[in-house]
Amino acid sequence: MKALLYDQFGGLLRVEQVADPVPPDDGVVVEVRAVGVCRSDWHGWQGHDADIRTLPHVPGHEFAGVVAETGRCVSRWQPGDRVTMPFVAGCGVCEECQAGAAQVCPHQFQPGFTAWGAFAERVAVRYADFNLVPLPQAMDFDVAAGLGCRTATAYRAVALQGAVRPEQWVAVHGCGGVGLAAVMAAAALGARVIAIDVQGDALTLAQRFGAEFVVDASSCDDVVAAILDRCGGAHVSLDCLGSAATATNSLLCLRRRGRHVQVGLLAGDDFRPRLPWDRIIAYELAAVGSHGLAAADYGPLMRMTAAGQLPIGELIQRRIRLSEAGAAIAALPMSAAPGTTVVTQFD
């Protein structure tokens, strides 16, 4: 089969012919019909993820497709089933999984990180009975691929970790794929959304997806002051980019007893940044992380998507071939293009 791979971190991303995957006993092989290009793929390629230990490596963690083969211990799935899955697949038997927190399973399987991923014609995945999610016939594969990482992560960050309620002010720092999905989710839950980004096109999309107020950080001298002037402080704020500046702004723009959700991965020079702990203490702020969404929690997300409350299809701005995916991953930190990119052709 064809797959996109690299032999060294930061090295050449190229498409090659590799051996077809074999289903593990507890897993399946999925024929990939769509796979999203995500900033986490760039982080993995750069060597920022400790789960990628063996090279060469095939990235790709948000995908949808059709079951092609099943392992001998799989009982819930058969060839031909249309599926997606969370990018964090829990083992199903540990304490965390049994408590409904598979997204932090200590034995988790992550396609594109702990094993070869979905920038390929086929991908083998583990823990299939516990993690695969069936797709409605009416849901397109490119839309479903967006559920596996950015939309699922954004939904959990807003609805579960952020505990957003109607009429609350929600600030979203960074309006890339996951940030725009967070805008959608917060607006769908009845929140009043403030979107912050440096790209005008991204802010235009944020308004289209429900943002009531936008802040162009490229021309605003004080992002925090702009938010405080607008609403007196956000009830919930999300750093969807992952930088020392956006994490700090997210915390400082909160009202007393507000809630910060860290969504974007902090890496490189921003790994373990200095944060305003004095404000966290004085205002009794809560700060939580958001790491994917357990398959068991996909029900509301799927219903909101099917009902048009989360117009994920409108978030997709570019559909490309597998041969173009390497360039798309490499360009992620410099790209000014709003919305998301999805590989939909594998020839």
Q: Is residue 304 part of a domain?
A: no
Question: Is 72 in the same domain as 159?
Answer: no
Question: Is 55 in the same domain as 170?
Answer: no
Question: Is 155 in the same domain as 28?
Answer: no
Tell me the per-residue pLDDT of 274-311, one tens digit each, with 9 for 90 and over.
899 999 999 999 999 999 899 999 999 999 998 889 99
Percent of the chain with pLDDT over 70: 100
Count structural domains, the chain: 2
Q: Is residue 295 part of a domain?
A: no
Q: Place 39 in a pLDDT band, splitting at 50, 70 and 90.
A: confident
Question: Is 113 in the same domain as 191?
Answer: no
Question: Can you tell me the mean pLDDT for 29-52?
Answer: 94
Q: Place 268 in a pLDDT band, splitting at 50, 70 and 90.
A: confident
Write down the mean pLDDT value for the chain: 95
Token pair belonging to 292: 């994917």
Asked if residues 71 and 24 have their Cβ atoms less than 8 Å apart, the reply is: yes
Question: Is 233 in the same domain as 214?
Answer: yes
Residue 228 belongs to domain spanning = 151-289
Distance, in Å, from the CA atom of 299 to the CA atom of 104, rounded to the nearest integer, reads 19
Question: Is 272 in the same domain as 163?
Answer: yes
Q: Is residue 306 part of a domain?
A: no
Distance, in Å, from the CA atom of 3 to the CA atom of 249, rounded to the nearest integer, reads 40
In this predicted structure, what is the pLDDT of residue 335? 72
In this predicted structure, what is the pLDDT of residue 148? 75
Q: Is residue 305 part of a domain?
A: no
Query: Could you write out the DSSP letters of every residue in 111-162?
Result: BTTTB--SSBSEEEES-HHHH-EEPPTTS-HHHHHTIIIIIHHHHIIIIIIS
The pTM score is 0.90
pLDDT of 45 > 70? The answer is: yes
Higher per-residue confidence, 149 vs 239 = 239
Q: Is residue 299 part of a domain?
A: no
Q: Is residue 61 part of a domain?
A: yes
Question: Is 43 in the same domain as 69?
Answer: yes
Q: Is residue 296 part of a domain?
A: no
Question: Is 82 in the same domain as 64?
Answer: yes
Q: Place 336 in a pLDDT band, splitting at 50, 70 and 90.
A: low
In this predicted structure, what is the pLDDT of residue 340? 87
Distance, in Å, from the CA atom of 295 to the CA atom of 27, rounded to the nearest integer, reads 15
The CATH number covering residue 104 comes to 3.90.180.10
In this predicted structure, what is the pLDDT of residue 105? 97
Question: Is 285 in the same domain as 186?
Answer: yes
Question: Is 164 in the same domain as 278?
Answer: yes
Question: Can you tell me the mean pLDDT for 33-48?
Answer: 94
Degrees (nearest 5) of the Cα angle 108, 261, 331? 70
R_g (Cα) of the chain, nearest Å: 19
Cα 231 from chain centroid (whole Å): 28
Question: Is 270 in the same domain as 197?
Answer: yes
Tell me the per-residue pLDDT of 126-150, one tens digit each, with 9 for 90 and over.
999 999 999 999 999 999 998 878 8
Q: Is residue 294 part of a domain?
A: no
Q: Place 257 in a pLDDT band, splitting at 50, 70 and 90.
A: very high
Question: Is 70 in the same domain as 161?
Answer: no
Q: Return the SS3 of 178.
A: helix
In this predicted structure, what is the pLDDT of residue 146? 83
